[in-house]
Amino acid sequence: MLRVAEIARQLKAGFEGQGDLEITGVAPLDPAASSDISFVGNRKAAANAAASRAGCLLVPEDFPKGRTLIRVADPRAAFAHVIRLLFPAPAVVPGVHASAVIGSGASIEASAAIGPLSVIGVGTRIGARSSIGAGCAIGSGVQIGSDCVLHPNVTIYDNVIVGDRAVLHSGCVLGADGFGFVRSGDHYEKFPQIGRVEIGNDVEIGANSCIDRAALGVTSIGDGAKLDNMVHIAHNCRIGRHVVIAAQTGLSGGVVVEDYAVIGGQVGIGDKARIETGAVLGSGCGILTSKIVRKDQVVWGTPARPLKQYLEQLANLARLPELRERVAEIEERLKKRRLTRS
């Protein structure tokens, strides 16, 4: 429970109305109760705000007066902050569970927590206040930074580096071999994958996502990157800072994604493609091998093309039935004219 005045202080913002009102929950505008806080994030929400029973609203600066409000530059971001205030993450309870297996030479900070049936490899280091969930398998020579959260059943192969404040969800795999094979006569030989994976600070990786180790060198994920569930990053990819990748997207080997790019769900990216800073790849699009998507460009479709061009082509496709009828009508007229002349 927090009072409105305290929430405003935490947000470094001003409030109007009942500063001593107790807020115990968060909710969308429609179902919100008098003890809830909600937010106005767009014009539609602003139009519906008058009917909301929320005790307090997070609103933009130009929102009209008349009820208990906290004015902020970005209501949605402020709402996320308030959720963390009202529902803080459980504190890490330090200690190593009796059923965990700890390899020789492993270094585990006293403030870290190692869950039941976890395996920590030889020479691995676990940073301060990091939490390793039940059933995690962490290889040898791994470095995990401070304040990380590994949910149950995360797998990290040998020699992977994970920065501070990483969140790894259940089933994700870091450091598996890249898909590297060479044709030798009538069969394929495995190309040894002897590189590594490096994960930056403040990275979140969704459930059942896979980050493959490099064949040689490094597969890297930059600071602040956010990967959804079931994302595959192949060997030798380089993902920049604060990149967002939605679910079921796959990157082939050697792809470079620069800072602040946004990649939608079910996107496929071919070998050695480059996605420049701030580019946006629409859901379901396909990027051909070695293709370059330029800075801040928005692309859609397969093969991917600029959004305006893609929409124009969709419009033309929608007109095809009409064009077909018109062509058939013209052909019928020509046929009748030929018959008349004959």
- Local confidence pLDDT in tens for the 342 residues of the chain: 899 999 999 999 999 999 999 999 999 999 999 999 999 988 888 888 889 999 999 999 989 998 999 999 999 999 999 999 999 988 899 999 999 999 999 999 999 999 999 999 999 999 999 999 999 999 999 999 999 999 999 999 999 999 999 999 999 999 999 999 999 999 999 999 999 999 999 999 999 999 999 999 999 999 999 999 999 999 999 999 999 999 999 999 999 999 999 999 999 999 999 999 999 999 999 999 999 999 999 999 999 999 888 888 888 888 888 888 888 888 888 887 877 776
What backbone phi and psi angles, to 5 degrees, belong to 293? Answer: -100, 120
The alpha carbons of the chain give a radius of gyration, in whole angstroms, of: 27
Q: Give the separation between CA 205 and CA 199, rounded to whole angstroms.
A: 10
Structure tokens at 282: 């629409």
Of residues 267, 253, 264, 183, the one with CA closest to residue 215: 253
Give the pLDDT confidence score for residue 326 in this predicted structure: 85
Confidence (pLDDT) at 342: 66
Handedness of CA 148, 23, 9, 14 (dihedral sign): positive
What's residue 316's pLDDT? Answer: 82
| Whether 132 contacts 150, CB under 8 Å | yes
Predicted TM-score of the model (pTM): 0.85
Lay out the sheet containing 101-102: strands in order across: 101-102, 119-120, 137-138, 155-156, 173-176, 210-212, 232-233, 250-251, 268-269, 286-287
CA distance 99 to 81: 36
Residue 99 CB coordination number (10 Å):
11
Task: Collect contacts of 112-118 with beta carbons under 8 A, ≥24 apart.
Answer: 115/152
Q: How far apart are the first and last CA of the chain?
A: 92
Distance CA(198)–CA(156), nearest Å, equals 11
Within its chain, how far is the Cα of 318 from the centroid?
33
Measured in degrees and rounded to the nearest 5, phi and psi for residue 326 equal -65, -40
- Catalytic positions: 235
Does residue 307 contact residue 282 with C-beta atoms inside 8 Å?
yes
